[in-house]
């Protein structure tokens, strides 16, 4: 929010924001933490924002951190969007989960099991795919064990 005054100090809830910014299984919480940290220009908030910009698995979070750092006047470059697996070996996980379900299971059952077993993976792809997530995941489910 460029209209809001950026404070040159550490936020009073810095530790909670830092934890939220690093919570791997909730990209929305990370994004909210980035937005709030981006209102406080301090070496430690800049460090957290830089880490998220470079290392987050969800590109929207990377972009948000980049934008906040740019607003602070930091000399930063937006990393390129990752290609392929956003989480190492993700493409191996989908068929395993599908095979663990009984024959004739539904897409919704697959989706629920994925969410329960690998929330980090589910959350990352949900954040990355946005409104196309369900269509993408259903396609992954349909093709997961086909060779």
Q: Where are the domains of the chain?
A: 14-71, 90-143
Tell me which residue of 128, 116, 139, 114 sits closest to 58, measured CA to CA: 128
Distance CA(93)–CA(53), nearest Å, equals: 26
Neighbours of 17 (CB within 10 A): 21
CA distances from 85 to 38, 92, 128 (A): 29, 10, 11
Token pair 């956003």 in the structure block, residue? 86
Kindly state the tokens that stand for 144: 């997961």
Neighbours of 37 (CB within 10 A): 28
pLDDT tens-digit series, residues 85-125: 888 888 899 999 999 999 999 999 999 999 999 999 999 99
pLDDT tens-digit series, residues 43-89: 999 999 999 999 999 999 999 999 999 999 999 999 999 888 888 88
Tell me which residue of 52, 121, 59, 61 sits closest to 87, measured CA to CA: 121
Q: Helix, strand or coil for residue 40?
A: strand
Distance CA(136)–CA(129), nearest Å, equals: 8
At residue 2, the pLDDT reads 44
């Amino acid at each position: 929010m460029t209209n809001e005054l950026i404070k040159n100090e550490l936020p009073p809830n810095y530790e909670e924001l830092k934890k939220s910014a690093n919570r791997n299984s909730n990209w929305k919480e990370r994004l909210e933490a980035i937005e709030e940290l981006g209102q406080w220009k301090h070496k430690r908030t800049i460090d957290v924002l830089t880490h998220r910009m470079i290392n987050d698995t969800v590109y929207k979070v990377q972009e948000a951190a980049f934008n906040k750092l740019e607003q602070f006047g930091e000399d930063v470059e937006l990393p390129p969007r990752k290609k392929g697996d956003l989480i190492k070996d993700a493409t191996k996980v989908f068929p395993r989960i599908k095979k663990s379900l009984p024959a004739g299971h539904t897409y919704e059952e697959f989706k629920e099991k994925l969410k329960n077993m690998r929330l980090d993976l589910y959350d990352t792809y949900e954040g990355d795919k946005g409104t196309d997530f369900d269509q993408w995941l259903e396609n992954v489910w349909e093709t997961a064990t086909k060779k």
